[in-house]
Amino acid sequence: MYVLNHGRFVIPRTELSYPGHSLKLHQHAADPVKSPVDLVIADLEDACPYEFKGDQSRRVMVEAFNTIDFGHKAIAFRPNGIHSKFFNGDVEALMLGAPNRFHGIVIPKVRDAEDVIAVASLLDNLERRGGWTHRVQIEALIETPQGLIKAYEIARASDRMCGLIFGIADFAASLGVSEIVEDQNRNFLYAKQAMVVAAKAAGLHAMDNVYLRLWRKGDAPDRVAEIERGLREKNLGAAKLGMDGTWVIHPQQAEIANSCFTPTAQQIDRARRTLRLYHQKGGGAMADPDSGEMIDEATVKIGLMDLAKGSQAGMVPMPELHEWSEKSRAVTGYDILELMRRVA
């Protein structure tokens, strides 16, 4: 969960990664119509050609963050890897060149908790030097078998941690797997759900990997429909595994991806009805008189999580969410939304 200014928090449904060395792409990413995403990630790592790495791309990033209005989007950047010769320069340039102009740093190929601790210590120093008034948060990319095995330790390594992201391409390469598009939620089921469990155990959000197929201008309608169908199926499957959102690499993916991680109006109505009925009847286990489905405190918590997702999408007022969560706390002694960091 990204905590932004004035207490607003964002659990991203979509994180748009784009090459950070292009000012034009920053402008496109900021556009609320062209890029309707929750978070943008300006990339200095894989999406940045080698010839642009270093000072040239850093200057563009600093200019973009200082001059472009990204609106209500959360803003992050991905430096080159912590073991790369570019890492320290990337982080220092952005932290000192654009203080208070972004919210997070996405660390690629995190191997263990020590990587996160080192980055957090560096941020401590640079925030003091740069005069920051808010703390930069960290998302860690889980892209290696080592990182997956230690995902919970990574998630708990610093109070700056806000999310884990599954990086399918590098992870698959480590396993010697070449097919990363078809049947990925089945073929990478263990890895994806292990990362989700680690993230949720630490109260962080969990982001799914990108879908690598894009349609192009001139593609036949059938081809476009096929790609969009694959994008939707992949993300609906990821949502069923507990992912909160997904990485996207082009704005064309945003609308479909957002919808996959947003509850429908019918789901919101059902959650409200379940909570209302449960508390009217005084709790316990009961059957829904209309559907016959069983309702108890556990299913109430599922409803609360649906309402929390709806709140992020602007469908549920935050005071209503707090009211329902307080009713649950009064019965059980704990608040699942607080435990899962779904309320600020």
Q: What are the strands, taking DSSP E only, across 44-149?
A: 74-78, 104-107, 137-142
State pLDDT tens for residues 16-74: 999 999 999 999 999 999 999 999 999 999 889 889 999 999 999 999 999 999 999 99
pLDDT digits (tens, 9 = 90+) for 151-200: 999 999 999 999 999 999 999 999 999 999 999 999 999 999 999 999 99
Nearest one of 14, 12, 19 to 252, comparing CA atoms: 14
- 2-260 under CATH 3.20.20.60, yes or no: yes
CA distance 121 to 100: 18
Q: What is the pLDDT of residue 237?
A: 97
Q: Where in the chain is the domain with CATH 3.20.20.60?
A: 2-260
> pLDDT class for 294, splitting at 50, 70, 90?
confident
**Residue 115, pLDDT score:** 97
Q: pLDDT at position 9, please?
A: 84
Residue type, 204: L
Of residues 334 and 116, more confidently modeled:
116
Residue 8 pLDDT > 90, yes or no? no
Residue among 236, 243, 261, 237 nearest 187 (CA): 237
Paired residues of 206 in beta bridges: 164
Identify the pLDDT of residue 338: 81
CA dist 270 → 12, 145, 242, 261, 290 (Å): 23, 40, 19, 17, 11
- pTM of the complete model: 0.92
Specify whether the CB–CB gap between 308 and 321 falls below 8 A: yes
Crossing angle between the packed helical segments 23-30 and 55-67, to the nearest 10 degrees:
30
Q: Is the pLDDT of residue 336 over 90?
A: no
The whole-number pLDDT of residue 344 equals: 64
Query: What percent of the chain shows pLDDT beyond 90?
Result: 76
Q: If you write DSSP's letter for every residue of 256-322 in order, what string do you get?
A: HHHHHTS--HHHHHHHHHHHHHHHHTTSSSEE-TTT--EE-HHHHHHHHHHHHHHHHTTSS-HHHHH
What pLDDT, in 10s, does the model give residues 86-133? Answer: 999 999 999 999 999 999 999 999 999 999 999 999 999 999 999 999
- pLDDT at residue 283 greater than cutoff 90: no
